Amino acid sequence: MKNSILIVDDQEINRVILAELFKDDFNIIQAENGDQAMKIINRDNSIVAIMLDLIMPVMDGMSVLIELNRSGKIYHTPVFIITAADNMQLLSSAYSLGAVDIISKPFRMCFIKSRICNIIELYRHRNELVDVVNENVAKMSKLNDKMVEVLATLIEFRDCESGEHVKRIRGITQRLLTHVCEKYPEYFLEKKAIDNISKAAVLHDVGKIAIPDSILQKPGMLTPEEFEIMKIHTVKGCDILAEMPADIMDEEVYRYSYDICRHHHERWDGHGYPDGLKGDETPIWAQVVAVADVFDALTSPRVYKAAFDYNTAIKMINDGDCGKFNPKLLESFNEVVGEIIRVRQESK
């Protein structure tokens, strides 16, 4: 099937002249105003170029350019301005909105076809290159995600866990942080940031690789000396992340992972570790992971304890038995914990 050129002009004679010039190489689609043109553009993926008059009834060419710019279609399909006007301010505005060239009236037929075909070919190559780059970026991102998950899961196995802990932490973080960001504007984050934070959360305990097995897998309570050693997993995790090659994870995920590793044991009243941060001195993403980690730890069996039931765990978190948390974060936790429990039960 031939690619298409869309000719948008309220003067039929102009459309006929341009259509005759390109009919052997392209399928020609015509519109007599911008409204018709936009309807065609939104349903037809075969269009490789648009010839657009600026002065038209119903919807003019500038309005079409604004809409193409807003939707991003202008970056994939070249737009040529058809005009007899010599209004430099108008033409400058058209260029600023993404138009690539001017087709002046009266038409100079010997030049138009070569210019337009050359630019169509240039856009074709550029679009193919963008597709290849996006495909490779997606593959690399997927590979990086898997490598991060494998590293986190290895730590969980060493900690005598099933590896499901890291998956649950990611899910709890996603749901709780989304709710916090919706409920409290001061903590608002874009969805992409929430996704990256949830991805980074799986590395919260990566520093446990530096903790001796005798402490990490001890079935009973730790002595004060042993607990001091256990606490260094926060800073050791940051050391490990700092030594990871730059292509293992993107910069934003690295930054969130670093914060989470170091600060997921900080507490709202400053009685956490390693830095004794108070209140919102701890980034909200580390605060959320702290709650997610505590809730999952309480409700899961460990070598040193049986699992608590959900109601007991929720009460312990609200009562401060596991350290003080941000009151706003607790409010969000209480509102979303039912959904977290439901998802967790359905996944068993």
The domain ranges of the chain are 4-107, 138-346
Half-sphere exposure of 6 (CA within 13 A, CB side): 27
Beta carbons of 207 and 237 less than 8 angstroms apart: yes
pLDDT at position 144 over 70:
no
Q: Which backbone phi and psi does 344 adopt, to 5 degrees?
A: -65, -40
Beta carbons of 264 and 251 less than 8 angstroms apart: no
**What is the reported pLDDT for 162?**
45
- Please indicate whether the domains covering 4-107 and 138-346 agree at the CATH topology level: no
**What is the reported pLDDT for 109?**
74
What is the pTM for the complete model shown?
0.61
User: How many angstroms separate the CA atoms of 16 and 35, rounded?
Assistant: 20
Packed helices 164-183 and 109-158: angle between N→C axes, nearest 10 degrees = 120
Q: Is 199 a catalytic residue?
A: no
Confidence of residue 230 (pLDDT cuts 50, 70, 90): very high
**What is the reported pLDDT for 147?**
62
Comparison of pLDDT for 179 and 166, the residue scoring more: 179
> Domain spanning 138-346: which superfamily?
Hypothetical protein af1432 (1.10.3210.10)
Query: From the candidates 142, 208, 218, 305, which is the catalytic residue?
Result: 208
Q: What is the DSSP string of 243-290?
A: HS-TTSS-HHHHHHHHHHHHHTT--TBS--SSS--BGGGS-HHHHHHH
pLDDT at position 27 over 70:
yes
Nearest to 332 by CA among 272, 280, 286, 292: 292
**What is the reported pLDDT for 206?**
86
pLDDT at position 203 over 90:
no
**What is the helix (H) or strand (E) element at residue 31, kind and residue range?**
strand 27-31
Beta carbons of 123 and 76 less than 8 angstroms apart: yes
pLDDT at position 258 over 70:
yes
Q: Which residue has the tokens 């604004």?
A: 66
**What is the reported pLDDT for 244?**
75
**What is the reported pLDDT for 90?**
79
* Topology at the third CATH level for domain 4-107: Rossmann fold (3.40.50)
Alpha helices, H only, 159-209: 164-183, 191-201
Bridge-partner residues for 4, per DSSP? Answer: 27, 47
For 291-341, what is each residue's pLDDT tens digit?
A: 999 999 999 887 778 899 999 999 999 999 999 999 999 999 999 999 999
Bridge-partner residues for 8, per DSSP? Answer: 31, 52
For 50-83, what is each residue's pLDDT tens digit?
A: 999 988 999 999 999 999 998 888 888 999 988 8
